Structure 1
């Protein structure tokens, strides 16, 4: 299973961990993904999604249908 947010499209990044001696080590920076069941009133059922916590906060604030309409996502 890939570590990509289903709604916002956030995925992992690659960076460097830098020690005090300036030694650089490659590190993967992964998004904070959570699996949630969110109620979609238009569909009349719960939709199971794997989304980042920042997207979850926005969905809780404006609703999943408004979020999907704003970003051009079709929910089923």
Structure 2
């Protein structure tokens, strides 16, 4: 499974490690992803999503159904 948030679409970013002597080597900045189960009260079922920490905060603020509806409109949700 890819390192992509199913709600926000966040992916790994590429950058440089910069040493004290200012040498640059490539590195990846990985998103803070977690597998989390969410209960959808309208359908009465549980879904498991791979979401970032910021997506969990968004779900807590707006509700799972509103966030899923918006993510489906953007084409991010795989469920």
Cα distance, 1:48–1:11 mapped onto 2, change above 3 Å: same
Higher relative contact order (CA 8 A, sep 6+): 2
Q: Which runs of 4+ in 1 moved over 3 A?
A: 73-76
Corresponding residue for 2:63?
Answer: 63
Matches within 5 A, 1:1-76: 1-71=1-71, 72=73
TM-score (norm. length: structure 2): 0.86
The alpha carbon displacement at 1:31 in A equals 0.4
Unaligned runs of 5+ in 1: none
The alpha carbon displacement at 1:75 in A equals 7.8
Unaligned runs of 5+ in 2: none
What is the alpha-carbon root mean square deviation over aligned residues? Answer: 1.7
Q: What is the number of residues matched between the two proteins?
A: 76
TM-score (norm. length: structure 1): 0.89
